[in-house]
Amino acid sequence: MRSGQTVAVYGAYGHTGRFVVAELRERGFLPVLAGRDPGKLKALAYGTELDVRPASVDDPASLDRALAGAAAVINCAGPFATTAAPVIEAALRAGIPYVDVAAEIEANVDTFTHFTDRARAEQALIVPAMAFFGGLGDLLVTAAMGDWTAADEAHIAYGLSSWHPTAGTRTAGAVSRERRGGGRIRYANGRLEHRHDDPPTLEWRFPDPMGPRPVIGEFTMADVVTVPSHLPIPEVRTYMTVEAARDIATPDTPTPTAVDTRGRSSQTFLVDVVVRSGDAERRAVARGQDIYAVTAPLVVEAVDRILKGRTHAFGVASAGEIFDAADFLRGLSPHITLELRP
């Protein structure tokens, strides 16, 4: 059944934004195409009846026009250090939910820091990092926890077959590196720690058929913001297969190339989550294709549930806090294959 509800997509013509627009249309929503470049917006809308609304983050009135009449807004435009706050402010003025796909650790910290009290006071809903990095890991950790109310450690290992980054990923990475002075971040002892040493390399035993693989330990992603925002876990570690880490570190690695009619690349992923409490261990595993493409069903499913009132919280909330994590993940079939191993 078509909902017909209008959802504004800021950064609609970007690599991930295009997947999000297509997913919205497939699920019966009416996307409004918003962003900074009028020419790119018109090109994306060519041959459709989609509404085009150019808007800039340094022009609040243009953002207000872009969000007028929308039931929600999805921000796909990085770097989110620049775009998140202005688009959140516009969403608050419009009185609509805000959801973004930010993978930038610092930008997500900023959202929780600057908008938590205000969003609660206004009973507004702001969901940052509703994407492959940040959202998916948080959902998997929360689902793996089950009836546990706390844990000692959460480990999120990313088994990517390759990683051809988009231009947006490279720009966001550069912004984050600049903000942290060229160092790195990890989440340990219940807080974010800034470090300037090299991360460790170790072996992670992924489920078959991937099996044991060398990974970069403490290859820290947005999960270290989303998971601790609502779960009392003092150690949250993320890992990345060495091959994928090498790809993104190499300046001349090409951007993703579509191999199917949905525009997905050939990249495959396996996300292996292990949660430990004392001597007990629980596990959740997700498999799929193309980390950018799978962000679209993640964020659109989130918007759909928000607009239907299938939420557990308001204010600034991560995916695992606001949704029934296991049910949400099962709802992503056939985009993600899920295994929960209590």
Question: Is there a single domain that holds both residue 62 and residue 124?
Answer: yes
| 298-311 burial code (b ≥16 CB/10 A, e <16) | bbbbbbbbbbeebb
Question: What pLDDT is recorded for position 265?
Answer: 98
Q: Dump pLDDT digits (tens) for 21-56.
A: 999 999 999 999 999 999 999 999 999 999 999 999
Task: Decide: 133 and 219 in contact? Cβ < 8 Å.
Answer: no
248 located within any domain: yes
Nearest Cα to Cα of residue 131 among 262, 260, 16, 283: 16
Residue type, 223: D
Q: What is the CATH number of the domain that holds 337?
A: 3.30.360.10
Evaluate if residue 5 carries a pLDDT over 60. yes
Q: What is the mean pLDDT of residues 6-17?
A: 98
Same domain flag for 58 and 189:
no
Residue predicted with more confidence, 183 or 323: 323
CA–CA dist 103, 6 (Å, integer)? 25
Average pLDDT over residues 178-196: 93
59 vs 183 pLDDT, higher one: 59
* Residue 34: inside a domain: yes
Alpha-carbon span 187 to 168, nearest angstrom: 25
Q: Does 260 fall in a domain?
A: yes
Question: What CATH number has the domain bearing residue 85?
Answer: 3.40.50.720
Q: How far is CA 152 from the centre of its chain?
A: 24
191 lies in some domain: yes
Tell me: do 159 and 274 sit in the same domain.
yes
**For residue 228, pLDDT beyond 50:** yes
Residue labelled with tokens 């490279």 = 170
Distance CA 337, CA 333 (A): 6
Banded model confidence at residue 4, pLDDT cuts 50, 70, 90: confident
Whole-Å CA distances, 37 to 10, 34, 47, 50: 11, 9, 18, 16
Q: Give yes or no for a contact between 239 and 158, defined as CB atoms under 8 angstroms apart.
A: yes
Residue 1 has pLDDT above 70, yes or no: no
Which residues, 6+ apart, have CB-to-CB distance to 173 below 8 Å?
165, 248
Q: Are 331 and 288 contacting, i.e. CB atoms less than 8 angstroms apart?
A: no
334: CB partners within 8 A, 6+ apart:
none
Residues 150, 180: one domain? yes
- The Cα 297–Cα 244 span in angstroms is 23
In tens, the pLDDT along 73-115 reads 999 999 999 999 999 999 999 999 999 999 999 999 999 999 9
Alpha carbon distance 64, 128 (integer Å): 20
Residues 152 and 103 in one domain: no
> Is the model's pLDDT at 213 over the cut of 80?
yes
Q: Does residue 1 fall inside a structural domain?
A: no
> Residue 342: pLDDT above 90?
no
**Stated pTM of the model:** 0.97
Residue 246 CA to residue 219 CA, distance in Å, equals: 12
Does residue 62 carry a pLDDT above 50? yes
> What tokens does 56 get?
């800039």
User: Is there a domain that residue 254 lies in?
Assistant: yes
Say if CB 282 and CB 145 are below 8 A apart.
yes
DSSP per residue, 159-225: EES-----HHHHHHHHHHHHHTTT-EEEEETTEEEEE-SPPPEEEEEPPTTT-EEEEEET---THHH
Same domain, 40 and 181: no
Provide the pLDDT for residue 182: 85
Domains identified in the chain, total number? 2
Residue 236 covered by a domain: yes
- Same domain for 276 and 139, yes or no, is yes
Axis-axis angle for helices 80-94, 60-67 (nearest 10):
60
Q: How many other CB atoms are there within 10 angstroms of residue 152's CB atom? A: 13
Residues 139 and 201 in one domain: yes
Radius of gyration over every alpha carbon of the chain, rounded to an integer in angstroms? 19
- Same domain as 192, residue 53: no
Q: Which pLDDT belongs to residue 341?
A: 83
Kindly state whether residues 160 and 91 are assigned to the same domain.
no
Q: Are residues 109 and 164 in the same domain?
A: no
What residue numbers bound the domain in which 33 lies?
6-130+295-322
- Do 14 and 77 have their domain in common? yes
202/46 Cα distance (integer angstroms): 49
User: Is pLDDT above 90 for 136?
Assistant: yes
Residue 3 has a pLDDT of 58
8 A C-beta contact, residue 292 and residue 198: no
